[in-house]
């Protein structure tokens, strides 16, 4: 095998009868390098967007969320939930009630996603870090307060310094509607705005309203300790997967235990599909670029006909001669892959530290520049794909020797 590699390496740089062979070989390596660098950069940017969104969600979503599989609510009581709070993986548990309600401010009305939260919620989710106006507070000791998504507040024409009350309406639980007095079928609660927040995600900023959990229980006729979800904070250096498994075993099959990715499963699924489709498109372009190797090796085989006959007279069998040209093609693809990987990593490093490529004019979005996150798995995947396609492209002409 060493002899074939030495001969292939010699053929790559030795003077040839046709200069076009050198040019085509250089173009092949350059094309593979460009596409490889593009794959590294694109996949790293997609990873960067995923990391950015995960960080945004982490300011609002807990480490672990527990829901009932059937029904909208469950009771946070009993031996299982006492044991849950004693797990070494769990440092904090917050109760939450989530339901749709009607918000009215003066002459404006709008359905909202009402989040009833307790006093632990602010510490568990870092909601105070994304407050855009006013401050976070759901009860001031005398009055119920509310924190609205920034988009929702804008649509309702509300500001953090407004003193007019917000009216909340929700159907009475298990009550029948009296067609003569339909207004009696609804509960009503009053609160005052304390501030606004922005997660930079439409489904939160334009729909969510945070209030005290006791207000929500009164509005929805929930019993004490009845919740729609439990929000958990995990201990530092705890594996979310192991904690999720331990909690699921403790609670049994009647509950869903969701980590941060599972809480936003639809969004991350779309992100993975986009990354997969983009990668497949670049692989297709790489496949086309690999056809240059076929042309280069075909011309090299024609140029080295006399050498092939000489090697045959010296005792080289057909398989050995094929391996020479196969390695020739693989060397071209390997050089292209190395150049592309180096270039792609350098571009990603520069973008990560200096943010050369801006998003819009640099001020329109959450980030001023494209985010980058290089992952080892992506680098290995790109390397394997490039070398595999290079091998196939080299094998097609080599088998005809």
Six token digits for residue 180: 């003569």
Domain stops at, among 263, 298, 313: 263
Tens of pLDDT, residue by residue over 63-107, are 999 999 988 899 999 899 999 999 999 999 999 999 999 999 988
Res 296: pLDDT: 77
Least confident among 104-108, 116-120, 283-287, 319-323: 319-323
Q: Are residues 126 and 18 in the same domain?
A: no
Q: Would you place residue 366 in the very low, low, confident or very high pLDDT band (cuts 50, 70, 90)?
A: low
Q: Are residues 139 and 92 in the same domain?
A: yes
d(CA 370, CA 362): 10
Highest mean pLDDT among 154-158, 181-185, 323-327, 329-333: 154-158
Domain stops at, among 209, 237, 263: 263
Q: Average pLDDT, stretch 11-16? A: 61
Q: What percentage of the chain carries pLDDT values higher than 90?
A: 48
Q: Are residues 83 and 165 in the same domain?
A: yes
Q: Are residues 94 and 207 in the same domain?
A: yes
Of 65 and 307, which is predicted with more confidence?
A: 65
Res 277: pLDDT: 93
Least confident among 46-60, 92-106, 346-360: 46-60
Domain that holds residue 245: 64-263
| Helix-, strand-, coil-residue percentages of the chain, each rounded to 5 | 55, 20, 25
Q: What percentage of the chain carries pLDDT values higher than 70?
A: 89
In degrees, rounded to 5, the angle at the alpha carbon of residue 153 between the alpha carbons of residues 152 and 158 is 150
Res 185: pLDDT: 76
Q: Are residues 36 and 167 in the same domain?
A: no
Q: Are residues 247 and 113 in the same domain?
A: yes
Of 16 and 215, which is predicted with more confidence?
A: 215
Six token digits for residue 378: 């992506």
Domain stops at, among 263, 295, 312: 263
Res 291: pLDDT: 82
Dihedral sign of CA atoms 65, 69, 74, 75 in order? negative
Q: Are residues 346 and 382 in the same domain?
A: yes
Answer whether residue 320 shows pLDDT above 90.
no
Backbone φ and ψ for 150, nearest 5 degrees, come out as -60, -40
Q: Are residues 298 and 221 in the same domain?
A: no
d(CA 316, CA 299): 21
Instruction: Please count the other Cβ atoms lying within 10 Å of the Cβ belonging to residue 266.
Output: 8
Res 214: pLDDT: 95
Which residues partner with 115 through β-bridges? 98, 210
Res 268: pLDDT: 85
d(CA 91, CA 89): 7
CB distance 240 to 259 below 8 Å: yes
How many domains does the chain divide into? 2
CB distance 243 to 90 below 8 Å: yes
d(CA 29, CA 39): 15
Q: Are residues 289 and 257 in the same domain?
A: no
Answer whether residue 344 shows pLDDT above 90.
yes
Query: Mean pLDDT in the chain?
Result: 86
Q: Are residues 274 and 256 in the same domain?
A: no
Q: Are residues 250 and 115 in the same domain?
A: yes
Q: Would you place residue 211 in the very low, low, confident or very high pLDDT band (cuts 50, 70, 90)?
A: very high
d(CA 239, CA 241): 5
Res 182: pLDDT: 63
Least confident among 3-7, 143-147, 279-283, 328-332: 3-7
Q: Are residues 123 and 212 in the same domain?
A: yes
**pTM for the structure as a whole:** 0.77
């Amino acid at each position: 095998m060493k002899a074939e590699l030495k001969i292939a390496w010699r053929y790559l740089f030795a003077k040839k009868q046709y200069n076009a062979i050198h040019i085509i070989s250089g173009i092949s390596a350059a094309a593979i390098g460009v596409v490889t660098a593009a794959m590294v950069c694109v996949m790293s940017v997609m990873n960067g967007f995923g990391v950015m969104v995960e960080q945004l969600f982490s300011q609002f979503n807990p480490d672990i969320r527990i829901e009932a599989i059937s029904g909208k609510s469950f009771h946070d009581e009993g031996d299982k939930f006492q044991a849950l709070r004693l797990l070494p993986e769990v440092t904090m548990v917050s109760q939450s009630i989530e339901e749709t309600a009607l918000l009215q401010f003066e002459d404006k009305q709008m359905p909202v996603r009402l989040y009833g939260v307790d006093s632990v919620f602010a510490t568990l989710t870092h909601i105070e870090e994304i407050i855009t106006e006013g401050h976070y507070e759901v009860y001031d000791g005398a009055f119920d307060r509310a924190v609205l998504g920034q988009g929702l507040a804008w649509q309702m024409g509300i500001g953090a310094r407004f003193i007019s009350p917000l009216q909340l309406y929700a159907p009475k639980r298990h009550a029948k509607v009296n067609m003569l007095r339909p207004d009696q079928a609804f509960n009503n609660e009053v609160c005052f705005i304390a501030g606004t927040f922005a997660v930079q995600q439409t489904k939160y900023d334009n729909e969510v309203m945070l209030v005290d959990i006791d207000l929500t229980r009164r509005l929805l006729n929930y019993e004490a300790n009845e919740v729609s979800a439990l929000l958990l904070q995990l201990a530092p250096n705890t594996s979310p997967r192991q904690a999720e498994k331990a909690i699921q075993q403790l609670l049994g099959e009647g509950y869903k235990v969701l980590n941060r990715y599972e809480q936003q499963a639809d969004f991350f699924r779309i992100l993975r599909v986009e990354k997969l489709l983009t990668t497949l498109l670049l692989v297709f372009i790489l496949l086309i670029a690999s056809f240059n190797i076929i042309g280069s090796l075909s011309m090299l085989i024609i140029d080295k006909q006399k050498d092939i006959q000489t090697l045959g007279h010296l005792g080289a069998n057909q398989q050995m001669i094929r391996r020479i040209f196969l390695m020739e093609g693989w060397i071209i693809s390997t050089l292209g892959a190395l150049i592309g990987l180096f270039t792609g990593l350098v571009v990603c490093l520069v973008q990560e530290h200096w943010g050369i490529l801006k998003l819009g004019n640099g001020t329109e979005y959450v980030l001023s520049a494209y985010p980058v996150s290089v992952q080892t798995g992506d680098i290995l995947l790109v390397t394997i794909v490039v070398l595999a396609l290079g091998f196939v492209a080299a094998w097609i002409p080599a088998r005809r020797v």
